[in-house]
């Protein structure tokens, strides 16, 4: 799946060069020469998009040598999906060539490195790239095969970058995408620290990372929950259950500017859904939510009723996703939700074509799991906070 990031920064088309999705195989100087010739025609280059091609370290070196003259004007650099068919040793060499450019770009705002197989082999260079993103505000780093080891180092780099930016009077990152990277619980300690330190963050996407409930709880309580400027949060396809649901619910009040929340396929379970919706109800009259995604969470009729009751207060909500949950499609509360949208004159519900039937055995098993998680939460929360504070203090000592 291609990772597409679009943000209008007012860049003029005449200052943009793109070979997006041409499937070019750029191995040699001869291969890259037509592109170098095209770039000679530019006096000002603000956006470069070479995504959807594959480039060698040799071709990268020649391209970067040509791009150096645009280091003061380059704003948007799209290097998404540029290493298809490249081996594990070639990728870091090429990335290091681009790092030479990135560290000299004083006005670079967008850097997209998604859909490149960095894994652990490229983490040394990738870490250095992040540390050189002094002016970058939007860092897109999804589907890179990072894993928890590299994810940990990404978190440390985000923290160090935030300190560098602060010392240079630059705003911190505003956008950070790191979905489909198998971050898991093993990366959460430093990722939480790194995210919290970038206090200007407005958009975070950490979808499909295999993060389990204790990791989600830590990530939100110590990291994301501290970000008061947050506008969009995507945690789709990680596992919440009760522990993660409680953390999410308790931090809703901290996100006064939140416009979009995607927790599709996060297994909040029926009790977690109730807790979340009760907390949402408490702030519904001041909420700015426009998009709420709650698919495949075992949300049941009781939660659906509660949602229909608080919906009139969510005055900006225009998109609600509920498919894959546990209620009847012809429920009176679905009818009520549709009537509320109709009376407001805007807003829509997704297509409910994959609903589950409630199962009493599963619900009983769920209650047992929830009790275990409540005990785990009581024991670990304070310990987690202290441990992460200690890690942050130690990390701060490594910055020169």
Of the candidates 207, 178, 370, the residue with the CA atom closest to the CA atom of residue 216: 207
At 132-179, the pLDDT tens digits run: 999 999 999 999 999 999 999 999 999 999 999 999 999 999 999 999
Say how far apart CA 154 and CA 158 lie, in whole Å: 6
Q: What phi and psi values does residue 291 have, to the nearest 5 degrees? A: -135, 125
C-beta neighbour count of 18 within 10 angstroms? 14
Coil/strand/helix, residue 381: helix
Q: Could you give the C-alpha distances from 369 to 81, 268, 269, 376, in angstroms and in order?
A: 41, 12, 10, 11
- DSSP 3-state of 3: coil
pLDDT (tens digit, 9 = 90+) per residue, 338-347? Answer: 999 999 999 9
Query: pLDDT per residue over 202-241, tens digit each?
Result: 999 999 999 999 999 999 999 999 999 999 999 999 999 9
Averaged over 325-334, what is the pLDDT?
95
Q: Which residue has the tokens 């990366």?
A: 187
What confidence tier does 375 reach under pLDDT thresholds 50, 70, 90? Answer: very low
Burial 127-146 (b: 16+ CB within 10 A, else e): bebbbbbbbbbbbbbbbbbb
Architecture field, domain 13-256+369-398: Alpha-Beta Horseshoe (3.80)
Cα separations in angstroms, 4 against 34, 138, 208, 297, 344: 26, 13, 16, 27, 32
Look up the pTM and report it.
0.94
3-class DSSP assignment, residue 350:
coil
Q: Quick one: average pLDDT of 80-100?
A: 97
Delimit the domains of the chain by residue range.
13-256+369-398, 268-356
Instruction: From 44, 49, 39, select the one nearest 15 (Cα to Cα).
Output: 44
Q: What percent of the chain has pLDDT over 90?
A: 88
- Residue 293's H or E segment, with its range, is strand 291-293
pLDDT at site 59: 98
**Helix spans in the chain (H):** 29-39, 57-67, 90-102, 123-131, 147-167, 188-197, 213-218, 241-251, 269-282, 301-310, 332-344, 360-396
* pLDDT band per the 50, 70, 90 thresholds, residue 74: very high
Q: What's the pLDDT score for residue 287? A: 97
* Residue position matching structure tokens 């970038």: 198
């Amino acid at each position: 799946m291609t990772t597409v990031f679009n943000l209008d920064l007012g860049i003029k088309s005449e200052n943009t060069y793109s070979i997006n999705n041409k499937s070019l195989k750029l191995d040699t100087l001869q291969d890259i020469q037509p592109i170098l010739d095209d770039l000679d025609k530019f006096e000002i280059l603000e956006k470069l998009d070479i995504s959807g091609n594959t480039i060698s370290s040799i071709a990268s070196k020649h391209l970067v040598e040509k791009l150096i003259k645009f280091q003061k004007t380059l704003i948007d650099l799209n290097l998404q999906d540029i290493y298809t068919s490249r081996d594990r040793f070639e990728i870091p060499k090429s990335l290091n060539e681009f790092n030479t450019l990135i560290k000299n770009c004083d006005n670079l705002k967008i850097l997209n490195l998604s859909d490149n197989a960095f894994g652990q082999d490229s983490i040394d260079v990738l870490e250095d790239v992040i540390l050189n993103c002094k002016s970058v505000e939007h860092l897109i780093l999804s589907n890179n095969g990072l894993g928890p080891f590299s994810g940990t180092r990404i978190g440390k780099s985000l923290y160090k970058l935030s300190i560098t930016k602060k010392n240079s009077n630059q705003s911190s990152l505003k956008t950070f995408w790191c979905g489909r990277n198998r971050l898991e619980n093993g990366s959460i300690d430093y990722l939480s620290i790194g995210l919290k330190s970038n206090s200007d963050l407005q958009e975070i996407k950490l979808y499909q990372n295999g993060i389990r409930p204790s990791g989600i709880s830590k990530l939100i309580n110590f990291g994301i929950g501290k970000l008061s400027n947050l506008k969009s949060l995507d945690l789709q396809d990680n596992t919440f259950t009760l522990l993660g649901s409680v953390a999410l619910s308790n931090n809703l009040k901290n996100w006064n500017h939140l416009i979009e929340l995607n927790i599709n396929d996060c297994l909040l379970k029926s009790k977690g859904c109730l807790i979340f919706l009760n907390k949402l109800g408490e702030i519904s009259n001041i909420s700015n939510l426009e998009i709420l995604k709650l698919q495949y969470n075992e949300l049941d009729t009781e939660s659906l009723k509660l949602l229909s009751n608080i919906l009139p207060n969510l005055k900006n909500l225009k998109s609600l996703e509920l498919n894959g949950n546990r209620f009847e499609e012809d429920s009176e509360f679905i009818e009520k939700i549709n009537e509320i949208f109709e009376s407001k004159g805007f807003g829509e519900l997704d297509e409910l074509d994959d609903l589950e039937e409630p199962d009493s055995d599963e619900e009983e098993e769920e209650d047992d799991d929830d009790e275990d998680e409540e005990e785990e939460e009581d024991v670990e929360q304070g310990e987690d906070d202290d441990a992460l504070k200690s890690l942050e203090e130690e990390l701060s000592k490594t910055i020169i």
